[in-house]
Amino acid sequence: MADINQPFGTRIDQLDRQRKALANGYYTTIRNDGLVIAHPRRRDKGAPLKYFLALVVLFFIFKALVLATAGAGTYQSRLNSLSDGTLVERAGAWFLQVDPVTQVLSNKVGLVFGNGTARL
């Protein structure tokens, strides 16, 4: 008797998995015989990486804007005062230090703002 119910339980489990997959979104296709089939949408697994890269790019642009507007001397003196502070302030100084990417972006932004370049 248990052998007769085994395919039924397997079919119920399969239908439950399909229902859960379709609950996250689906698209439909029509087969040659006219039957409409629903397929689950794939999840975009690259989205968090895209957002992280966009955040990194915006961070470098922010650093370049601050360096271009404040000037190299003022920026460096504020970084020096941060590096003498607490552990969090030292970490912030390390992240905000002038690197080649920030320097190049700052020079480009400085030319747009008309205040020359922010050379160290």
- The 10s digit of each residue's pLDDT in 3-20 is 666 688 888 899 899 999
First to last CA, the chain: 84
- Report the chain's C-alpha Rg in angstroms: 29
Ranges of each domain in the chain? 2-40, 47-113
User: Looking at the predicted structure, is the pLDDT value of residue 115 above 70?
Assistant: no
**In the chain, what is the greatest distance between 2 CA atoms, to the nearest angstrom?**
87
Which residue do the tokens 């697994």 mark? 45
Tokens standing for residue 86: 């607490």
- Mean per-residue pLDDT, 26-53: 87
Between 31-35, 44-48, 51-55, 101-105, the lowest mean confidence (pLDDT) is in: 44-48
